[in-house]
């Protein structure tokens, strides 16, 4: 291994905190290439730096760590894994679409709340706080009467 990196040097080269490198190690996504002569320092090479950069690029693309682990397995395999990658992408797209719908719903509620506030601000009482105070909790059930 030419010019090994310590964990701090690897983190700096990949522009991530050392805690991120340690976390990826705990998750099994990254392993040191070697240990120092005394065994007290983890050492990494260019291959580990490229792996770390791949992990970060995959996450920025919307993949969760479970997906990243699958992508790494596929990347390190011999066959062209296009169909498996397409399945991962389809799953992430469904997730993003659902989250976008949820965010659009939140946006609608916030806009309506802002409009309500503006309509009633002269009354000296916030109607939004009143509405939230009397709104039923989502997912909660009223206690049954004996």
Instruction: Convert the pLDDT of each residue in 103-122 to its tens digit.
Output: 999 999 899 889 888 888 77
* 105 φ/ψ angles, rounded to the nearest 5 degrees: -65, -45
Q: What is the pLDDT of residue 121?
A: 77
Q: Which of 1, 5, 2 is nearest to 41 (CA)?
A: 5
The predicted model scores a pTM of: 0.70
Query: Is the predicted pLDDT of residue 20 greater than 80, yes or no?
Result: yes
Q: What is the pLDDT of residue 3?
A: 66
Residue with tokens 């991962």: 88
For 45-92, the pLDDT digits (tens) are 999 999 999 999 999 999 999 999 999 998 888 777 888 899 999 999
**18 neighbors 6 (Cβ within 8 angstroms):** no
Q: What is the pLDDT of residue 137?
A: 64
């Amino acid at each position: 291994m030419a010019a090994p990196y310590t964990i701090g040097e690897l983190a700096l080269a990949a522009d991530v905190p050392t805690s991120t490198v340690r976390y990826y190690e705990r998750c099994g996504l990254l392993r040191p290439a070697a240990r120092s002569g005394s065994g007290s320092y983890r050492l990494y090479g260019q291959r580990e730096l490229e792996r770390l950069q791949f992990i970060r690029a995959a996450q920025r693309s919307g993949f969760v760590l479970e997906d990243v682990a699958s992508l790494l397995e596929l990347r390190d395999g011999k066959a062209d894994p296009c169909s498996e990658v397409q399945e991962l992408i389809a799953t992430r797209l469904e997730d993003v679409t659902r989250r976008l719908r949820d965010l659009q719903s939140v946006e609608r509620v916030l806009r309506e709340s802002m409009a309500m506030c503006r309509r009633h601000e002269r009354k000296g009482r916030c109607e939004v706080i009143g509405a939230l105070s009397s709104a039923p909790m989502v997912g909660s059930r009223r206690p049954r009467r004996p």
